[in-house]
């Protein structure tokens, strides 16, 4: 495979990669980096855990090192937008070691933290600004940041930004950016709306796709248990008891459900914590740090809060509730089997979730192996198998050609005798 040294990166960056013990680029990195170094707009499609951050981060830093001068106060030379606070912090943490020892400044702005402190940081100017769209607009409204000098734009996990409704924020931010500029858009999936987004914000982009959309990492072992909804708590505890020291990420559909599930696990003696939208940024950061260090072994999360979690040691992902959007299943199980490791993804499927599982299997073009229970028949399976389909009329309807039945006449009451 191609070595980082041969991709055309500056000696400063190749030295930083060697210090970080990065020697072999991933497929998305090997294909995207040379294109981005040449100044092309890039549309990158790859599943989670394949190294997308360095695929855009390395050429971005390389370009900035070649540009003279420091950023003026309240300005940024480049902008990276990501959908969640966790992902913003992860991106910044990945890029800082690569910029260490250089003049480049990296700043983050996210909700849930002191906006006055962020205003103070931006007042000095920054080379790389990593932000969530909502907080960035708050800072723009306060005239705390001028984006007119931005010549490099990165949209990371763009599909998730669309799901969260950030397209409206992007329409406000994009006109404020400098031109001409290089734009890189990275995503794990490519819904129709993403095509429209790329046409609107990318110019003659080079498309890089290393895995088909909806395909999970090869080293993930998947299985599903079919059971009643009320039996899920007992099954979850049974699965966790198999390996109490393993790092396990459990996905719930709602914030309330995640919190309730976590409290039940803690009562049972599990080292558990939760992250969801009702938690403060400090609480979420502390929970992820404890999970990364192994102090917490079970982390219960919702989709939005868990986006961007990059912890190589996650051994199991349990879908306690199946996601309503099939793409999110791929993102969820992509939290395991990272950095070349193996992982296991386990789904708990109640009868009312059978349709959701069908959509997931249709997207991934596989059937998830059944670990226990009986898989319900797909809708319309009887008709496809050649069995006669019962044809009955809807309740309350008349057979074709039948006359409506005459309404019954109520016989008038006789007046009572006084």
State residue 93 phi and psi, 5-degree precision.
-65, -30
Q: Is the pLDDT of residue 402 over 90?
A: no
pLDDT grade, residue 287 (50/70/90)? very high
**How many angstroms separate the CA atoms of 58 and 312, rounded?**
21
CATH classification for the domain delimited by 4-209, as one of 3.40.50.300, 3.30.70.260, 3.30.930.10, 3.40.605.10: 3.40.50.300
114 CB burial (10 A radius; 0-12, 13-18, 19+): exposed
| Fold of the CATH domain 220-377 | Rossmann fold (3.40.50)
pLDDT grade, residue 21 (50/70/90)? confident
User: Tell me: the pLDDT tens digits for 63-120?
Assistant: 999 998 999 999 999 999 998 888 899 899 999 999 999 999 999 999 988 999 999 9
| Domain ranges across the chain | 4-209, 220-377
What's 175's DSSP letter? Answer: G
User: Tell me: the pLDDT tens digits for 352-370?
Assistant: 999 999 999 998 889 999 9
The residue with tokens 């103070």 is 120
- Are the CB atoms for 56 and 186 separated by under 8 Å? yes
Q: Is the pLDDT of residue 2 over 60?
A: no
Residues 308/314/318/320 CA torsion (nearest 10 deg): -50
User: Tell me: the pLDDT tens digits for 319-363?
Assistant: 999 999 888 888 888 888 766 678 999 999 999 999 999 999 998
The contacts of residue 415 (CB under 8 Å, 6+ apart) are none
User: Tell me: the pLDDT tens digits for 217-251?
Assistant: 667 899 999 999 999 999 999 999 999 999 999 99
31 CB burial (10 A radius; 0-12, 13-18, 19+): buried
Q: Is the pTM above the cut of 0.95?
A: no
Average pLDDT over the chain, rounded to an integer: 86
Q: Is the pLDDT of residue 415 over 90?
A: no
């Amino acid at each position: 495979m191609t070595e980082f040294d041969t991709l055309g990166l500056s000696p400063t960056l190749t030295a930083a990669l060697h210090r970080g013990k990065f020697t072999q680029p991933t497929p998305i990195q090997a294909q995207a980096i040379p294109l981005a170094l040449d100044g092309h707009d890039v549309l990158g499609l790859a599943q989670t855990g394949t190294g997308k951050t360095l695929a855009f981060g390395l050429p971005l830093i390389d370009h900035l090192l070649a540009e003279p001068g420091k950023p003026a106060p309240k300005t940024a030379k480049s902008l990276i937008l990501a959908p969640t606070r966790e992902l913003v912090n992860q991106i910044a943490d990945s890029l800082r070691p690569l910029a260490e020892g250089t003049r480049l400044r990296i700043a983050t702005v996210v909700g849930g933290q002191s906006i006055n402190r962020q205003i103070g940081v931006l007042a000095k100017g920054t080379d790389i600004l990593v932000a969530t769209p909502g907080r960035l607009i708050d800072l723009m409204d306060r005239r705390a940041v001028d984006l007119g000098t931005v010549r490099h734009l990165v949209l990371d996990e763009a599909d998730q930004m669309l799901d969260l409704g950030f397209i409206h924020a992007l329409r406000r931010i994009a006109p404020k950016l400098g031109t001409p500029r290089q734009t890189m858009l990275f995503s794990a999936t490519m819904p129709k709306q993403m095509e429209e987004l790329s046409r609107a914000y990318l110019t003659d982009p080079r498309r890089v796709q290393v895995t088909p959309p909806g395909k999970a990492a090869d080293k993930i072992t998947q299985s599903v248990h079919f059971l009643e909804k009320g039996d899920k708590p007992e099954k979850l505890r049974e699965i966790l008891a198999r390996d109490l020291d393993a790092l396990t990420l459990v996905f719930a559909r709602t914030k309330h459900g995640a919190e309730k599930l976590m409290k039940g696990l803690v009562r049972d003696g599990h080292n558990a914590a939760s992250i969801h939208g009702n938690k403060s940024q400090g609480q979420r950061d502390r929970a992820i740090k404890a999970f990364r260090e192994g102090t917490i072994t079970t982390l219960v999360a919702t989709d939005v809060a868990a986006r961007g979690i990059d912890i190589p040691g996650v051994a199991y992902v349990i879908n306690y509730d199946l996601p309503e959007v099939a793409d999110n299943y791929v993102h969820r199980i992509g939290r395991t089997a990272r950095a070349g490791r193996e992982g296991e993804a386990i789904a708990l499927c109640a009868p009312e979730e059978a349709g959701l599982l069908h959509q997931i299997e249709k997207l991934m073009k596989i059937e998830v192996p059944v670990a226990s229970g009986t898989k319900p028949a797909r809708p319309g399976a009887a008709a496809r198998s050649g069995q006669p389909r019962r044809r009955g009329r809807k309740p309350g309807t008349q057979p074709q050609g039948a006359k409506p039945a005459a309404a019954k006449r109520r016989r008038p009451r006789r007046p009572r005798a006084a």
